[in-house]
Amino acid sequence: MMNAAFAELKMNAEYRAVSLSREEFAVRFPELKRESSGMNVTIPYKSDVIPLVDELDEVSSRIGAVNVIKHSGSKYIGYNTDAGGIVNSLKEHGKGAPRSALLVGAGGAARAFCEAMNELHCASITVVVRDPVRGERFVAEMGRAFPNIRFGFATLPQLAHADTDLIFNATPIGSSEHTLPDQLKRVIYGHATVFDAVYRPMKTDLLKTAELRGCSVIYGYEMLLHQGALAFKIWTGREAPVETMRRALLNSLEAAA
Ligand code: NAP
């Protein structure tokens, strides 16, 4: 997706994926940082990199997660474009004003979702967690960051019904390793829009269920595309060629399916 964008704009740049174990991270990350003009950071390092950059933009500082780093002069600046990726995906589907949302998960993508909901003036979010202690902590923290949103939480077995206009999955549930729990299946119905952050496989069990039950769906690749387009602009100062990036992304996801 990024290399297709560089090629389209005839830029002399290359995007490379590097996988680091926890043991390698402390040594390799500073080297990689010096060697590149910009980076993406993904699971599980989005919070770990915060002390390793010089400045944070407003969003990454508020939600405590960085997914983009820009090398700017002598400084490394951390940004978060996951939230903007969620907002732009919803807007592209004409779903830019959810009243209430059901958020599954309480990690980095979930934090970005809360930021996105705040931007879209969503009034309430129920967070579905597997560990109530973590749920309570997450809800308290997000409540302080976003005082205009009413937060509550539930564990999966507590989930009886959900009268909500947006369901967002911010867990690996539905990816090849994790099946979709029945408790979650039960709350997918009606007018809700179901948005899955998982993008591999492209059509997850959650999205298949949602389509069968007449819900609108938004794919995880759409968030990936839009967060990437925002990152491209941060690194290069140029508008991203979004349709070229979309084609490249879909080709690579379809080839991997
Ligand atoms: P994270 O910070 O590690 O958080 C993962 C969350 O999922 C945690 O709340 C965790 O619960 C929960 N979880 C993990 N396994 C679970 C399971 N088997 N059942 C129920 N809950 C489970 O990860 P993240 O960065 O938020 O990423 C979450 C997902 O979103 C990943 O699949 C990632 O690939 C995807 N993502 C996609 C995009 C995109 O652009 N489309 C961007 C970011 C992330 P505990 O707290 O109990 O461990």
Calculate the dihedral angle through the C-alpha atoms of 222, 128, 64, 197, rounding to the nearest 10 degrees: -10
- Give the domain CATH number at 112: 3.40.50.720
- Give the domain CATH number at 19: 3.40.50.10860
Is the domain of 96 the same as that of 201? yes
Instruction: Convert 139-149 to b/e letters by CB count within 10 Å (16 or more is b).
Output: bebbeeebeeb
> Global pTM?
0.96
Is-contact 228 245, C-beta < 8 A? yes
* Domain interval for residue 13: 2-80+223-256
Is the domain of 92 the same as that of 192? yes
Residue owning the nearest CA to atom 40 of ligand 1: 224
C-alpha distances out from residue 143 to 108, 110, 112, 139, 151, Å: 16, 13, 14, 6, 6
Is the domain of 19 the same as that of 64? yes
Q: Tens digit of pLDDT for each residue in 165-182? A: 999 999 999 877 788 888
CB of 134 shorter than 6 A to ligand 1: yes
Beta strands 124-129; 75-79: pairing state: unpaired
Q: Tens digit of pLDDT for each residue in 7-34? A: 999 999 999 999 999 999 989 999 998 8
C-alpha distances out from residue 86 to 163, 170, 175, 212, Å: 21, 11, 19, 23
Options 10, 33, 46, 208, the catalytic residue:
46
Is-contact 143 170, C-beta < 8 A? no
Is the domain of 73 the same as that of 150? no
CB of 53 shorter than 6 A to ligand 1: no
